Amino acid sequence: MENSEDSNVLEDLDEDSGSPKSNVCKDILLKAQEEELKANLLLKQPDLLLHIIEDIQKTKNVEGEEDTILAIMNKVSLRLVKNHSPTSSNMVIDGRTGIGKDWGAKAVCYYLVPEEKLFHRIHISEKALIYWSTNKDKDFTWDGCVVYLEDPTDDILKSDTFRTMASGGGKATTVSDKRKAMDIGVEGKPVIMVTSYNATIDEEGMRRWDSIRMDSSEELTKRVINSKLKKAENPDQKPKFSYLSKVLQDLKAYNVVIPYATVLEKHLPKTLIMRTQVDKILDYIKASAIIHQKQRDVDEKGNLIANDFDYDYGRYVFLKLNDARGGAISKKEEEIINILLKAKTPLSVSEISEDFSHSKQWIYNHQGDMKAKGLIEEILEWNEMANKPVTKFYTKYKPQTIDIPTSNVLVLTGFNRFSNSAQREGFNGFNGFPEIKKRINEKREKNGFYLISC
């Protein structure tokens, strides 16, 4: 959280209540109290998500990316869902160098997560990762924390310690400096955010991770450049302290119940993938309830109760992250798949590399993972020029499209729409999460951006 005159005003108050300094500080204090009150009132508004997105864009200098912010915000909020599945809270933010993937992720993380709960590293070695938890207090747990790593190597992502952390705790066995086997305990489960262009998730970790792409459109690029040019004309202008960020960081952790969960049994697809992926859509519903906890009821056991606004928001994140297809696929993997589909005939690594945006070596380094995940298959074809068989690749991969119905199916079963959360003055025509998307798209259309769907 950034320092500001308003946030530190109490430390500056003079004991002499009649001094000019004291009067000025009292005015600042009253203004700060008023701003914090307004922020707390926003927590009770059905269009809270719009206020959060706008505030992140304004205070963190983020252009566009409303759909990405919605997804990352939901993922980060899982840190406060006590009863979420550990593997729901892992995300890779994928995109080419220079696209600003770290800027967007960093903005949301620093906005929503208290400083003492955010572990942001631009580099970490495998050895440092192993001993990371052991340097904390004996009662330390990763629960409620966010671990944010910029461009970790494949070795880090595939290390036993990182896999243990991403799976939700337990023990990892490693070799100590004295060459003895030792167990390293990983207590609790943090939300893990990874920004990466070169790294990939292997077959074993595929179900544990989600992948999201940043907006690389020409329209957004123009907006980003324009924003930076304007900032260059006024470099002394500092981001305004955000009281909405402050009150969001103070939200409580809850167990969340979904009172309509069994109703969904009739409407969710019965595919093999959904055995594990159903946990994610349920957890995204819970994360929405956490963000809107000032608008949600609490049962007699102290559990937060999700409503159907939360279902629609959770459904949106589920579809946005392509959870329906069952695993994280990087942009480069998808590019290779598209090259093979377009060719309609098996291609060698050299032939693939002719249309591939990255190096030939990348294909050699990652072909094993791609085969293990079922993205590509190989055959041997005789090459007359080389006078020997050559390995070629083809794909049968087809992204699965799964229909996840909107909350209208809940209304048809008699579920009370939004409970009473939308019954606020000025919100009589409010249509829940579809209204959030509508207003976002009105803004995006005005700026010439693609419209968000799902």
Say whether pLDDT at 338 is over 80: yes
Residue that finishes a domain, picked among 343, 376, 394: 394
Say whether pLDDT at 422 is over 60: no
State residue 196's pLDDT score.
Answer: 72
pLDDT tier at 370 (50, 70, 90 boundaries)? confident
Q: How far is CA 341 from CA 95, 345, 380, 397, in A?
A: 22, 8, 18, 9
Q: Which residue has the higher pLDDT, 323 or 105?
A: 105
State how far the Cα of 166 lies from the Cα of 327, in Å rounded to an integer: 14
Q: Which residue has the higher pLDDT, 20 or 244?
A: 244
Question: CA torsion angle for 288, 293, 297, 303 (degrees, to 10)?
Answer: 80
Q: pLDDT tens digit string along 255-272?
A: 999 998 888 888 777 766
Q: Which of 48-57, 233-242, 339-348, 394-403 has the lowest mean pLDDT?
A: 233-242
Looking at the fold, whether 112 and 2 belong to one and the same domain comes out as no
Looking at the fold, whether 53 and 82 belong to one and the same domain comes out as yes
Say whether pLDDT at 186 is over 90: no
Looking at the fold, whether 277 and 372 belong to one and the same domain comes out as no
**Would you say 424 and 44 are in contact if contact means Cβ atoms under 8 Å apart?**
yes
Looking at the fold, whether 318 and 360 belong to one and the same domain comes out as no
Which residue blocks in 43-115 are alpha helix, DSSP H?
48-59, 66-77, 101-112
Mean pLDDT for 417-426 is 52
pLDDT tier at 74 (50, 70, 90 boundaries)? very high
Mean pLDDT for 62-77 is 88
DSSP letter string, 361-421: HHHHHHHHHHHHTTS-EEEEEEETTTTEEEEEEE------------THHHHHTT--TTTTT
Looking at the fold, whether 63 and 3 belong to one and the same domain comes out as no
**Would you say 296 and 289 are in contact if contact means Cβ atoms under 8 Å apart?**
yes
Looking at the fold, whether 281 and 377 belong to one and the same domain comes out as no
Looking at the fold, whether 375 and 307 belong to one and the same domain comes out as no
**Would you say 279 and 83 are in contact if contact means Cβ atoms under 8 Å apart?**
no
State how far the Cα of 61 lies from the Cα of 56, in Å rounded to an integer: 7
Looking at the fold, whether 81 and 103 belong to one and the same domain comes out as yes
Q: Which residues form the domain of 385?
A: 331-394
Q: What is the SS3 assignment for 138? A: coil
Say whether pLDDT at 2 is over 50: no
Nearest Cα to 393, choosing from 374, 406, 418?
Answer: 374
pLDDT tier at 389 (50, 70, 90 boundaries)? confident
Say whether pLDDT at 278 is over 60: yes
Q: Which residue has the higher pLDDT, 388 or 182?
A: 388
Residue that finishes a domain, picked among 343, 370, 394: 394
Domain count of the fold of the chain = 3
Say whether pLDDT at 411 is over 90: no
Say whether pLDDT at 156 is over 80: no
Say whether pLDDT at 143 is over 50: yes
CATH number at residue 356: 1.10.10.10
pLDDT tier at 417 (50, 70, 90 boundaries)? low
Mean pLDDT for 181-199 is 73
State residue 327's pLDDT score.
Answer: 54
Looking at the fold, whether 75 and 206 belong to one and the same domain comes out as yes
Looking at the fold, whether 107 and 242 belong to one and the same domain comes out as yes
Q: Which residues, listed in sequence order, are joined to residue 203 by a DSSP beta bridge?
A: none
State how far the Cα of 240 lies from the Cα of 6, in Å rounded to an integer: 10
DSSP letter string, 278-303: HHHHHHHHHHHHHHTGGGS-B-TTS-
Q: Which residue has the higher pLDDT, 393 or 177?
A: 393
Percent of the chain with pLDDT over 90: 20
pTM for the model = 0.75
Q: How far is CA 190 from CA 79, 140, 148, in A?
A: 7, 12, 10
State residue 276's pLDDT score.
Answer: 73
The one-character DSSP state at 235 is T
pLDDT tier at 295 (50, 70, 90 boundaries)? very high
Q: pLDDT tens digit string along 99-137?
A: 455 677 888 999 999 999 998 988 887 777 777 766 666
Looking at the fold, whether 179 and 142 belong to one and the same domain comes out as yes
Looking at the fold, whether 347 and 415 belong to one and the same domain comes out as no
Q: Which residue has the higher pLDDT, 174 or 242?
A: 242
State how far the Cα of 337 lies from the Cα of 310, in Å rounded to an integer: 34
Residue that finishes a domain, picked among 344, 377, 394: 394
